[in-house]
Amino acid sequence: MKVVAQSASVASGGNWHDETTVLHGDAGLASDASVVAPIHYSATFRAGTADEFADMANTPRHPGFYTRYGNPVHKRVEAILAELEGTETALLMGSGMGAISTTILGLLSAGDHVIAQQRHYMSTSKLFEEVLPRFGVHSTIVDQTDLQAIAGAIRPGTKLIMVETPVNPTLSITDLAAVAELARPRGILTVADNTFASPLNQKPHALGIDIVVHSATKYFGGHHDITAGAVCCSRELAERIWTMHTTLGAVLSPMDAWLLLRGLRTLALRMERINANALGLAQWLQAQPKIEQVFYPGLQSHPQHELARRQMTGFGAVIAFSIKGGFEATSRFVSALKLATHAVSLGGVETLVVHTAAMWAGTMTEAQMQAAGIEPNFVRMSVGVEHIEDLKADLSAALKGDPQ
Ligand SMILES: *Cc1c(COP(=O)(O)O)cnc(C)c1O
C-alpha cells in the first residue's frame, strides 16, 4: 500500500498551535477521502510485486507490512504526538509500561549504569530496582528534587537518566532543563515520563530531554476506555527502540489506536477545563477545615511552585491531599463520595479518587509505604471535566459526613 514509510511528523512545519495540531496533525497521512480516519483492522498487508514485498519487509517502521511492525492508524496518532512533543517522530505501544520498558530495554545493555528518581510510577521503579539488575543494569536512585544528588550520581558508565515530573505521591517536580544540561555534554541519554503533565502543559524535549514517554491511557485517550503508550524522540532513537519493540511486542490494537486518535481530537479542550477545574479545587480544598494539606504544583504553597511555573504552562489533573483523622477518616471520606468515582488512573473526563494507602496495603508493608512517602491519610484525585461546583458539593458532603 502507498503510505509514507516513516511518521510524517511536523505536518504543519511546526507552525500550528497544539489546539490545531490535535485536529489536523495527521492530515498528510490520509489514504482516502473520508474525513474520519478509517480503522485498518488488519494484522497483515498485501504486496503488489516481489520488489514491493522486499521493500515492505526491509523498511524499518513500515506502516503497512505487519501490525506488530506498524499500522496506518498508528502512524496518524504518531504524527500528532511527535508534533505535540516537538520531536522528529513518535512510536505507539500497547500501554505506558510497554513504552517505558521497551525504551529502557532497547537502549541499555549489561554493565550500563542508570540514574532514576526516588519517586516514579510504581511499575517504573520496579523496572529499575528489580528487573534491570537481573540483566546486569544497575541504577542509582536519587531524590529527584536535589540536583546535586543527580549530578553526584553520574559516573563513567552512566548511559541514561530517567525523570518523571510531576510525580506521585506529592506532585514533586524535577528540573528538566537542569537535568538535560547535566546529561547532554556527557553524552548521557535522558528519558522523561510526561504523563502527569501532557505536552499541552509541559514540553520536555524543548527543555533538552531526548526521549519523552507517555501512558496514553491517561490524557491522550482521555476517556478511561483504552490502555496505550507512546515514545517521542528522534528517528534514530525511535528505530533502536522499535527494533526492541518488534521483539517484546507491546502492540496497540488498531481499534484502540483509532479510539486514541478520536480521544486526541479533544485533548486541548479537555486540558483547558481540567487545568482550570484542578487549580480551582486545589485552592478550595486548602480552605476546608477537615483537610490537613494539599499538594498541587499550581498552588503557591507547593515547595517547587516557582520551578513548576517555569517549566509548565498548566498544572494538570492530579491533586493529592491529606484528611484529618488518619486512615479511617480517609477511608470513610472516599466511600462517601457520590460523584467522584472511586477508581485508579487519571487524566480522563470523569473525576477519579483513590485512597493511596488502601491501594498499596496488599502489596507493601507500612515501612515500605513510609519509604515511598505514602501517608495513611493521602487521597489522590484526578480532576475531570464536570462542573466545578458539583465537584465541590460532592467533596463537601463527603467531608461533612465524617462524624469526627
Ligand atoms: C499510568 C502511568 C504509567 C503506566 O501506564 P499504563 O498505560 O498503565 O501502562 C506510567 N507512568 C505514569 C506517570 C502513569 O501515570
For residue 12, the model assigns a pLDDT of 62
Give 368: exposed, middle or buried? Use CB within 10 Å, 0-12, 13-18, 19+.
Answer: exposed
DSSP state of 320: E
CA 63 → CA 58, 76, 261, 367, distances in Å?
12, 10, 16, 48
Domain boundary among 216, 231, 265: 265
Same domain for 341 and 284: yes
Same domain for 185 and 41: yes
| 146 has catalytic annotation | no
Domain boundary among 265, 287, 304: 265
> Distance, CA 214 to ligand 1 centroid (Å)?
7
Same domain for 345 and 218: no
Residue 22, all three cell numbers: 490535535
CA 119 → CA 22, 51, 126, 380, distances in Å?
31, 51, 11, 15
| 121 has catalytic annotation | yes
Average pLDDT along the chain: 95
pLDDT band for position 396 (cuts 50, 70, 90): very high
Domain boundary among 265, 281, 301: 265
3-class secondary structure per residue, 64-85: CCECCCCCHHHHHHHHHHHHHH
Same domain for 337 and 240: no
Our mutation pick for probing the ligand 1 site, out of 100, 104, 121, counting the most ligand atoms within 8 A of Cβ, is: 121
Where does ligand 1 bind, in terms of residues with CB under 6 Å? 95-97, 121, 164, 193, 195-196, 215, 217-218, 227, 229
pLDDT in tens, 125-143: 999 999 999 999 999 999 9
Q: Which residue, 370, 304, 21, is CA-closest to 167?
A: 304
pLDDT in tens, 37-70: 999 999 999 999 999 999 999 999 999 999 999 9
**Looking at the domain assignment, is residue 1 inside a domain?**
no
**Looking at the domain assignment, is residue 40 inside a domain?**
yes
Measured by CA distance, the residue closest to atom 5 of ligand 1 is 96
Same domain for 290 and 141: no
Domain tally for the chain? 2
Tell me whether the omega of the peptide bond preceding residue 303 falls within 30 degrees of 0, making it cis. Answer: no
For residue 31, the model assigns a pLDDT of 86
Domain around 208:
9-265
Residue 275, all three cell numbers: 487545568
| 324 has catalytic annotation | no
**Looking at the domain assignment, is residue 3 inside a domain?**
no
Rounded percentage of the chain residues whose pLDDT exceeds 70:
96
Can you tell me the distance from the alpha carbon of 358 to that of 349, in angstroms, rounded to the nearest whole number?
Answer: 24
Our mutation pick for probing the ligand 1 site, out of 101, 198, 217, 256, counting the most ligand atoms within 8 A of Cβ, is: 217
Of residues 354 and 12, the one with the higher pLDDT is 354
| 290 has catalytic annotation | no
Q: Which residue, 240, 205, 259, is CA-closest to 61?
A: 240
Same domain for 256 and 300: no
DSSP state of 345: -
Same domain for 282 and 386: yes
* Mean pLDDT of the region 371-398: 96
> Distance, CA 54 to ligand 1 centroid (Å)?
37
pLDDT in tens, 238-249: 999 999 999 999
For residue 402, the model assigns a pLDDT of 52
> Is 90 exceeded by the pLDDT of residue 355?
yes
Same domain for 333 and 250: no
Same domain for 285 and 199: no
Question: What CATH number should be reported for the domain holding residue 358?
Answer: 3.90.1150.10
Question: What CATH number should be reported for the domain holding residue 187?
Answer: 3.40.640.10
CA 234 → CA 7, 49, 218, 241, distances in Å?
11, 32, 23, 11
pTM of the model: 0.96
> Is 70 exceeded by the pLDDT of residue 8?
no
pLDDT in tens, 77-106: 999 999 999 999 999 999 999 999 999 999
For residue 362, the model assigns a pLDDT of 86
Same domain for 321 and 252: no
